[in-house]
C-alpha cells in the first residue's frame, strides 16, 4: 500500500467511526418505521438485570414446573413430534429459579427432576413453607405449564387465577404483568383472547393446584406445544430462557409496585356496636418521593363481615380504618366463626394480602381471636 492509499484508507476508517458515534437523524429514525418486522419475528435474546429486581429481595416464591414422572405414558402431554411438556416446564422452572435467586428472592421448586408429585403436595409446598423470617407460607406460587389445543394454529399466552376475580385480587395483580411480558417476549398471538383466565372456565372447581393453595397463586400457560413451530422452539433451552426472563421481568415490575397489607384487625364491642379497626400499609417504599401523601385509593376500600358490607371510616393521616357492624348486636354474636374480609389497593392498583380473617369470641363473651385465612373460598365473594 502506498502512503497516499494509506491516507485515503485512514480517512475512510475515521469517517466510518465518527459516523457511527453521532446522534441518529430524525429522517433515519422515521425510515426505520418503513421496515418494521411483524410481531412474530424473534430478535436476539437480551437479558439485562432489571433495575427493579431489588424489590424482589426477600420474597418467598414457590415455582411449580407442571407434570413430571409420566414419560412412560404414551403420547401424554406431548407435542406433534413427541416433545414432552414436563421437560419444557422443568427447564423454564430451573432458569427462572436462577434469575430470581440472583435477584435475592428465596425460591423453592415443587419437584426435583422428572418425578411425579400430586397437585395437593405441590400446593402444600407453598402453604407450609418455612420462611426465613420465621413465618409459614410462600408469598407467591407460580405453576409453569404449556398449553395444547386440537386447533393446530392456536398459540397464545394466558395466565390463570382461581375462581372469581374478587377472591383473587392479589393473584390478578401479578398475573397481569406476567401475561403481558410472556406475550411480548415469546411473540405469541396476543390480543386474540383475554390474557387472564379463571380456572373455573376449565373445571367447575377450578384447577386442583390453585384451589388448594392458601397463598396468592397463578398458573402460566405460556404458549402451545401442540403448535408445530412452537413445539420446535420450546425444545430449545434458549427459548425457554426467553420465557423465564419474561416471567422474571413481570415479577420485577409487580414487586416494584408493592403489595399492600394491614395490621391484624382489632375487634371489640363498643357500646354494644361491633367495631373493627386496622391500620393500612400501602406496600410501597417509604423512601419514595411523596411517600407522606395518601397512596391508598380510598374508593377501593371495602370491609365485609360474613358477606355483608360494613360502614367504614378512613383517616388518610394515620391510615386507620374503622368499620362498624351495627347489625350485629353483642347478644347475637354467638360462639361460631365469622369471616371478615378487607380490601384496598394502592396507587399502582395493587391489592392487599391477606384479605380474609376468621374471628371467634370466647364462650363467655370475652376476648376475640383473629386468624388470617388464605385467599381461597368455595363460593364467590359478595
Task: Tell me which of 145, 214, 295, 351 binds Zn ion, using CB under 5 A.
Answer: 145
Place of cell 399466552: 157
Residue 211 touching Zn ion (CB under 5 A): no
If one counts every other C-beta atom within 10 angstroms of the C-beta of residue 53, the result is: 20
Task: Tell me which of 65, 66, 216, 260 binds Zn ion, using CB under 5 A.
Answer: 66
Nearest to 144 by CA among 74, 27, 244: 244
Closest distance of CB 145 from Zn ion, Å? 4
Beta strand pairing status for 311-315 and 266-270?
unpaired
Residue 375 touching Zn ion (CB under 5 A): no
Identify the helix (H) or strand (E) that includes residue 171. helix 169-186
| Closer to Zn ion by Cβ: residue 66 or 216 | 66
Altogether, the residues listed in the chain come to a count of: 382
| Closer to Zn ion by Cβ: residue 220 or 303 | 220
Helical axes 169-186 vs 237-256, angle rounded to 10°: 140
Residue nearest Zn ion by beta-carbon distance = 145
Identify the helix (H) or strand (E) that includes residue 21. helix 3-21
CB burial of residue 73 (10 Å; 0-12, 13-18, 19+) = exposed
Residue 93 touching Zn ion (CB under 5 A): no
| Closer to Zn ion by Cβ: residue 85 or 185 | 85
Closest distance of CB 88 from Zn ion, Å? 10
Contact segment (CB under 5 A) with Zn ion among 114-122, 141-149, 237-245, 287-295 equals: 141-149
Contact segment (CB under 5 A) with Zn ion among 51-59, 65-73, 157-165, 202-210 equals: 65-73
Q: Round to whole Å and give the CA distance between 210 and 161.
A: 7
Contact segment (CB under 5 A) with Zn ion among 21-29, 144-152, 326-334, 336-344 equals: 144-152
- How many chain residues are in contact with Zn ion, going by CB under 5 A? 2
Closest distance of CB 85 from Zn ion, Å? 5
Q: Round to whole Å and give the CA distance between 105 and 55.
A: 9
| Closer to Zn ion by Cβ: residue 143 or 346 | 143
Binding region for Zn ion (CB under 5 A): 66, 145
Amino acid at each position: 500500500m502506498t502512503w497516499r492509499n494509506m491516507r485515503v484508507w485512514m480517512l475512510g476508517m475515521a469517517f466510518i467511526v465518527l459516523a457511527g458515534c453521532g446522534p441518529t437523524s430524525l429522517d433515519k429514525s422515521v425510515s426505520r418505521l418503513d421496515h418494521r418486522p411483524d410481531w412474530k419475528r424473534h430478535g436476539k435474546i437480551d437479558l439485562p438485570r432489571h433495575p427493579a429486581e431489588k424489590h424482589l429481595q426477600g420474597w418467598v416464591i414457590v415455582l411449580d414446573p407442571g407434570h413430571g414422572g409420566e414419560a412412560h405414558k404414551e403420547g401424554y402431554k406431548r407435542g406433534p413430534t413427541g416433545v414432552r411438556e414436563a421437560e419444557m416446564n422443568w427447564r423454564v422452572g430451573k432458569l427462572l429459579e436462577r434469575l430470581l435467586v440472583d435477584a435475592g428472592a428465596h425460591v423453592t421448586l415443587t419437584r426435583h427432576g422428572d418425578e411425579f408429585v400430586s397437585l395437593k403436595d405441590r400446593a402444600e409446598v407453598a402453604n407450609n413453607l418455612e420462611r426465613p423470617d420465621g413465618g409459614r407460607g410462600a408469598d407467591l406460587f407460580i405453576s409453569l405449564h404449556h398449553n395444547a389445543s386440537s386447533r393446530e394454529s392456536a398459540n397464545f399466552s394466558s395466565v390463570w387465577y382461581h375462581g372469581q376475580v374478587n377472591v383473587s385480587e392479589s393473584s390478578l395483580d401479578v398475573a397481569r404483568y406476567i401475561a403481558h411480558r410472556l406475550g411480548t417476549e415469546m411473540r405469541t398471538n396476543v390480543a386474540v383472547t383475554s390474557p387472564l383466565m379463571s380456572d373455573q372456565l376449565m373445571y367447575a372447581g377450578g384447577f386442583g393446584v390453585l384451589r388448594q393453595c392458601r397463598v396468592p397463586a397463578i398458573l402460566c400457560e405460556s404458549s402451545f406445544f401442540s403448535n408445530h413451530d412452537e413445539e420446535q422452539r420450546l425444545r430449545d433451552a434458549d427459548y425457554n430462557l426467553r420465557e423465564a426472563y419474561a416471567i422474571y421481568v413481570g415479577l420485577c415490575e409487580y414487586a416494584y409496585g408493592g403489595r399492600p397489607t394491614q395490621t391484624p384487625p382489632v375487634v371489640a364491642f363498643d357500646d354494644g356496636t361491633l367495631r373493627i379497626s386496622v391500620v393500612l400499609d400501602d406496600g410501597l417504599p417509604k423512601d419514595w418521593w411523596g411517600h407522606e401523601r395518601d397512596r391508598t385509593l380510598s374508593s377501593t376500600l371495602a370491609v365485609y363481615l360474613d358477606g355483608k358490607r360494613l360502614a367504614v371510616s378512613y383517616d388518610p393521616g394515620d391510615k386507620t380504618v374503622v368499620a362498624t357492624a351495627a347489625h350485629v348486636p353483642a347478644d347475637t354474636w354467638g360462639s361460631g366463626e365469622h369471616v371478615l374480609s378487607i380490601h384496598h389497593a394502592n396507587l399502582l392498583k395493587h391489592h392487599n394480602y391477606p384479605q380474609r380473617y376468621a374471628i371467634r369470641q370466647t364462650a363467655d363473651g370475652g376476648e376475640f381471636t383473629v386468624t388470617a385465612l388464605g385467599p381461597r373460598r368455595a363460593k364467590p365473594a359478595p
